[in-house]
Amino acid sequence: MSNELKIYLDGQLVDKSDAKISVFDHGLLYGDGVFEGIRVYNSCVFKLDEHLERLEYSAKALMLDLPWSRQEISDAVCETCRVNGITDGYIRLIVTRGVGSLGLSPRSCPNPSIIIIADRIQLYPHEYYEKGLKIITVPTRRSGPAVLPPMIKSLNYVNNILAKMEAHQGGCEEAIMLDEGGYVAECTGDNIFLMHKGVLLTPPPSTGALKGITRQVAIDIAEELGVPLEEKTLTRYDVWIADECFLTGTAAEVVPVIEVDGRTIGNGVPGETTKAFLKRFLEKVSVEGTML
């Protein structure tokens, strides 16, 4: 038996080297599909049910009918982890429109395709969680609800990739994206939170922010810790004068930010509230989810 990583592809577990899709798959041709990034901690698939619910919502918004039940997908995710010995890692769950003809119409794609990858990931070096990130605001604006509703976690990520490239060109790992009105939307792959005068602030999804699963965990933690929270439109000025700033995401987890656009956030080190949120988050990840 091969020791290669096994990929779940349309009901079969195949070697990584054999995991291939057709060049006529509309996920490849047009970015027509949806996905979820999911974490596994100590054999717990964190918030799996919430991720699968969001996958279903994204698919419904794209009129992409899923022929599998939530339980069937859940079982496939867990089996892929077990087969690969993944007890701590990252899962990429992808559903494409499937094979069709050349042309935009999804009518030529009768059967969607499902792909599950279970592997390991470290988005940021460990030192960033101790010392904090330096980020910038980039020119590329976040697509708004009138273009592509940000609540849909689709395979079309070029908007975010352009912003990520601008972050790298600016010497940063991450960057803030603004909406068309100039308000803070989110980062290239993470949601953003600010602490200002004892209140936790985060942009509402209407600005172009994804309804992140980890974002919701942070909102839940705020309630548990008794930290007042407001979803409100934020400007760059609000970020610059914040007492603390942190980002949330499945891959990023909860990572502190100590500088934005050359302005020091707070006293230039991760704040006490941020550290409390990260501590509570790490307490949750191996108990709130689906056990392998």
Give residue 244's pLDDT.
Answer: 98
275 and 133 in a common domain: yes
Out of 6, 47, 153, 164, the active site residue is 153
Q: Does 232 participate in catalysis according to the annotation?
A: no
Q: What is the pLDDT of residues 83-113, one digit of tens each?
A: 999 999 999 999 999 999 999 999 999 999 9
Give residue 1's pLDDT.
Answer: 56
206 and 272 in a common domain: yes
271 and 163 in a common domain: yes
Domain that holds residue 173: 126-286
- Residue ending a domain, choose from 99, 119, 139: 119
Whether residue 82 lies inside any domain: the answer is: yes
Whether residue 272 lies inside any domain: the answer is: yes
The rounded mean pLDDT for the chain is: 96
Whether residue 292 lies inside any domain: the answer is: no
101 and 170 in a common domain: no
Give residue 121's pLDDT.
Answer: 84
200 and 108 in a common domain: no
Q: What is the pLDDT of residues 66-85, one digit of tens each?
A: 999 999 999 999 999 999 99
- Residue ending a domain, choose from 119, 137, 157: 119
Q: What is the pLDDT of residues 175-218, one digit of tens each?
A: 999 999 999 999 999 999 999 999 999 999 878 888 999 999 99
146 and 100 in a common domain: no
54 and 86 in a common domain: yes
Whether residue 1 lies inside any domain: the answer is: no
- Residue ending a domain, choose from 119, 136, 166: 119
Q: What is the pLDDT of residues 109-165, one digit of tens each?
A: 999 999 999 999 877 889 999 999 999 999 999 998 888 898 999 999 999 999 999
Give residue 279's pLDDT.
Answer: 97
Q: What is the pLDDT of residues 233-267, one digit of tens each?
A: 999 999 999 999 999 999 999 999 999 999 999 99
139 and 245 in a common domain: yes
Which CATH number goes with the domain that contains 111?
Answer: 3.30.470.10
20 and 64 in a common domain: yes
One-letter amino acid identity for 248? T
Whether residue 191 lies inside any domain: the answer is: yes
Q: What is the pLDDT of residues 53-62, one digit of tens each?
A: 999 999 999 9
274 and 156 in a common domain: yes
Whether residue 21 lies inside any domain: the answer is: yes
244 and 189 in a common domain: yes
192 and 151 in a common domain: yes
Question: Structural domain tally of the chain?
Answer: 2
Give residue 245's pLDDT.
Answer: 98
Which CATH number goes with the domain that contains 176?
Answer: 3.20.10.10
Q: In three state form, how does the secondary structure of the chain look?
A: CCCCCEEEECCEEEEHHHCCCCCCEHHHHHCCEEEEEEEEECCEEECHHHHHHHHHHHHHHCCCCCCCCHHHHHHHHHHHHHHCCCCCEEEEEEEECCECCCCCCHHHCCCCEEEEEEECCCCCCHHHHHHCEEEEECCCCCCCCCCCCCCCCECCCHHHHHHHHHHHHCCCCCEEEECCCCCEEEECCCEEEEEECCEEEECCHHHCCCCCHHHHHHHHHHHHHCCCEEECCCCHHHHHCCCEEEEEECCCEEEEEEEECCEECCCCCCCHHHHHHHHHHHHHCCCCEEEC
Whether residue 291 lies inside any domain: the answer is: no
